[in-house]
Each structure stands twice: as C-alpha cells, then as structure tokens.
Amino acid sequence: MKRQQAGAFAGISVNLLVFPFDTLKTRLQSPAFQQTRRSATSILDRALWRKAYQGVGTVLLVAVPSSGVFFTTYEGMKYVLGGSSSTEARGFLPQPAVHALSSSIAQLINCVIVTPAEVLKQNAQMLDVHHAAPGPPSPTMKVLQQLKRHPTKLWRGYTALAARDLPFTALQFPVFEHLREVLIAQRSRLKKGDGTVNGVLERAWIAALSASVAGGAAAWVTTPFDVVKTRMMLEAGTQNTSQAEYASRTGLMVDDCRRGGQAGRRSGVQIGKEMLQHEGIRGLFRGGFIRAAFTIVGNGLFMGIYECAKLYLQER
C-alpha cells in the first residue's frame, strides 16, 4: 500500500510537469511534421506548443493504478527472484538480471493498463480544436467518440509500447539500482559515525540522480521504438475515418489519411521499414533529444518523490 501511494503521488506530480514536452514530442514524431514543419526553427512554431495539456486527463486517471501495479510487481518480483537491497543477491541470479527481469515483467503487465490511456492521450494531443467538427468540447472525449465503435483500437500499439518499454526498463532499472548502491556507499564513507545513509531527503536525491542518468540513457537508445509506437497509436484515430472528416478534426495529422486506406492496419515492423526508407535513421530518432531531456527531469523527480514518499510513509 505504501508503494502504491508513493508511486501514485509521484506519477501525478511528474506527469503534470513534463506533459507539455510529451505533447511536443508526439507532434514532432507525427507523419505531418515530415511535410509541414521541417524548418530549423520549427520547434519554436506556436502550433507545436498550442494546447499542450490536451489529453492530460487520461494520464492522470491512469497514474494511480499503473504506478501501483508497476512498483508492487517490481518489488514483489525482486523478492521472488532473490533480489535484495544489499549488494549480494539471495538467489542464483546476479543482481542486474534480477532487476532487469523484475522491471520487464512489471512493465509488461503495466502496458495493459497504460495502452488505452496512451492511445487517447496521443490522439488528443494531435487534435486541433479550432478545426474540429462539432461534438464534445473535450479533445479526449472527441477521440473516445471516434473510437467507440471499435473499442479494441484502444489497445492499438500495445506490442509497440511493450517493445519500447521492455528494453527501456530492462536497461534503466539495473543501471538505476547499481548507481544508487554506489552513491549510497560513497556517501556512507564520507559520513562520520555509523556511516549509514538514513535521511529521507538524502536517500531521495540519491535516487533522483541515479534515475536521471539511467532514464536519460535508456530513453535515447529506445527512441526508435517510441517513434513507431507513436505512429501506430495515431493511426488508431484514422482508421474508418474519411480523409475529409479526419482533416476537419485535426490540424497536423492529415497525411495519415493519404495512405490508400491502409492506416491502422500496418504492423510496427512495416511502419519502421517505411520510416527507414523515406526518413532514414534521423526519422527514427525524431524527438529523441526532447524525450531524453524530459525523461532525465521526469525520472529524477519521479524516483526522488517516490523514494521520499515511501520512506516518509514507512516512518509514520
């Protein structure tokens, strides 16, 4: 329960802070950006930043169950597999393997919860309310209305999300746990007395620094998976929608409607191959710098707040 409360508090706080940058990343990774906003100053285009909090409601709604499920599963799997907070593992697996496997299993389960929220969020981020057809005032509700006839599309991109998040967590958490242990050990050697690091704030900043380094590196490496995942989820909003209708309700994504009726039916591999052919390696890493930057900030704050809240609740 303490982990669920700490994770939920950290998730909501950090999502509110970094959400505009996530919106910017989604718009940069959209197909229309390739055609309409490729200039050197395009990142300063007001259109990319307009209504940057569209779709934030779904993220906040899913933050509590997703954080609770992830950290409960992660900590539980660490215990089952023999991981411990000390440098020596109790089981037969080495610590990095325990952390990688535990975080991967936790993320695989978590993706089931997160995928519908991601589909709604990313399509809402792309919705231009100034050109939208009459309907619900909320961008999220407009997207939900579009998908209501085919609710299974809410899980469109689950495989791409899992393909992105599994290597991300498998890279991030072993590095995070190792860096945290190293920093705690170094900090303990510098302290007088018993040499232990017990302060809530002290352990929080150690966790924040470790998570920032680990998360930023993992985010950059897995950017191609993130781009493909974004394209797949955006296509969920174009399937079974005429070009005229879709063009009337979105300002940036009209190019998706010009794929000969194939939008929404392409696999992640097909999307990746097509991007590599037409946009090159640079296209697969579009938005990578922004993703790495807000992951450094977001992960640091998230794990710092999570560690602080967890230790505070344990002390109480």
- The whole-model pTM stands at 0.75
Which pLDDT belongs to residue 2?
58
Phi and psi at residue 92, in whole multiples of 5°? -85, -15
Q: What is the CATH number of the domain that holds 295?
A: 1.50.40.10
Q: What is the pLDDT of residues 60-70, one digit of tens each?
A: 888 878 888 88
For 183-196, how does the pLDDT look when each residue is reduced to its tens digit (9 = 90+)? Answer: 988 887 776 655 56
Contact (Cβ atoms closer than 8 angstroms) between residue 3 and residue 310 = yes
Nearest to 180 by CA among 159, 197, 168, 192: 197
Is the pLDDT at 156 greater than 90? The verdict is: no
86 vs 47: which has the higher pLDDT: 47
Question: Which of 147, 143, 4 shows the shortest CA–CA distance to 71?
Answer: 4
Token pair for 207? 């966790």
Domain with 43, as residue range(s), is 2-315
Confidence of residue 149 (pLDDT cuts 50, 70, 90): confident
Residue 37: what pLDDT?
52
Of 1, 4, 2, 158, residue with least CA distance to 67: 4
pLDDT digits (tens, 9 = 90+) for 275-307: 889 888 988 998 899 999 999 999 998 888 888
CA dihedral 129, 135, 137, 141 (to 10 degrees): -100
pLDDT at 13 over 50: yes
Please tell me the total count of domains within the chain. Answer: 1
Would you state the structure tokens that stand for residue 16, as one six-digit string? 């509110």
Residue 40 pLDDT? 41
CA distance linking residue 169 with residue 296, whole number of Å: 14
Judged against a pLDDT cut of 80, whether residue 261 lies above it is answered with no
